[in-house]
Amino acid sequence: MANRKAAVKRRIISKDGHNNVRIDNVEGMVRLYLHDIWTTVVDMKWRYKLTLFASTFVMTWFLFGVIFYFISLGNGDFETGSNSSHTPCLMNVQSLTGAFLFSLESQTTIGYGFRYITEECPLAIFTLVAQLVITGLAEIFVTGAFLAKLARPKKRAETIKFSQLAVICRHHGKLCLMVRVANMRKSPLIQCQLTGKLLHSNVTEEGEKTQVYQRSVDFHVDSSSECPFLILPITFYHILDEHSPLAGLNVENLHTREFELLVTLNATMESTAAMCQSRTSYTPQEILWGYDFQPVLFSSTGGRYVADFKFFDKVQVINNPALVSSNTEKQKLEENYKNE
């Protein structure tokens, strides 16, 4: 019994939308990641990205500082008995520390004027030019990846909230599975589309067993358009008819069937026109039969609508006519607002 519960709770997508699939035994994984270095750097966690950002500067300063040190060493600048007429490659550089400071000052264009290159060493001049070109490209790459991660629509998707539970009840006379979605920011999301995937094991006619089989689940919304304007909490529903992948689901077998319902919301940010995607999943234990969501949208005395998220995840039983009729006020309010 314990093994069965563990198998039911196993999920591919977590509630917060993260991928729970671990990738193992991929040949040449490091080479694949380095081949697409831009995506690798952008996808890095912040602690690694900050380390890379800082180490890019420090390592290039030190690397070219060592090169300048050996150039001066080869030119005999550190010999104590040098002729007074000897012109060093780098003025006022007497050690590795001085070469490092010269590299730092040159790369950051500080230019204190105390350390500088003379005309006697073309190799030092060429090294300085190479340093500015190479480090400039490296800084552009790292800074661009840093800004790209800050501007990723993934952060905007974190402000999209899904209901913790899904419910099954009658909607417009049809048995429907319903989920609630809300935008946590005032900036609206446009062209919103909710899609679903039913993930379950399957056995083909040839007897081949597929551990994870995907079937599309269509979701609809009570609106004149299938691309609603997400500025208030909206309830999406899937009709449980003979064409549904969940056909045959009933109150008796709901918690005995093994599946995972992956729900994905694709939307466009009005401010930047960038696409964002947010997802979650529901297991049979997170689907309630004979319940509906409590009203979350209210009207205030000042003529404004108020979305009270205290009721966002709350549900109510609808097994009697009184509860069903009390639900019509919420539906009319949401429908009128979406049709405006």
* pLDDT number for residue 226: 63
What the block records as the tokens of 264 is 């994905």
- Span 47-106, pLDDT tens digits: 888 898 889 899 999 999 999 999 988 888 887 655 667 788 888 888 899 999 999 998
178-191 mean pLDDT: 86
- Share of residues in the chain with pLDDT > 70 (%): 87
pLDDT at 319: 60
Residue 227's pLDDT is 63
Confidence (pLDDT) at 2: 44
Ramachandran area for residue 172 (φ above 0: left; ψ -120 to 50: alpha; else beta): left
Residue pLDDT, tens place only, 197-230: 998 887 777 777 777 888 899 998 876 556 667 7
Instruction: Give the pLDDT confidence score for residue 253 in this predicted structure.
Output: 87
Distance CA 84, CA 86 (A): 5
Q: What is the pTM of this model?
A: 0.68
Least confident of 122-126, 128-132, 268-272: 268-272
Encode pLDDT of 304-331 as tens digits: 788 888 888 899 887 644 334 444 444 5
pLDDT at 134: 92
pLDDT band at 334 (very low <50, low <70, confident <90, very high): low
Spatial strand order of the sheet with 209-218 comes to: 209-218, 189-203, 260-269, 275-282
Say what the pLDDT of residue 320 is: 45
Mean pLDDT for the chain overall:
81
Structure tokens at 110: 């500080």
Higher-confidence residue of 194 and 34: namely 194
**Is 228 in contact with 234 (CB distance < 8 Å)?**
yes
Whole-angstrom Cα Rg for the chain: 31
All domains of the chain in start order, with CATH: 12-18+154-339 (2.60.40.1400), 44-151 (1.10.287.70)
- Model confidence band, residue 6 (pLDDT cutoffs 50, 70, 90): very low
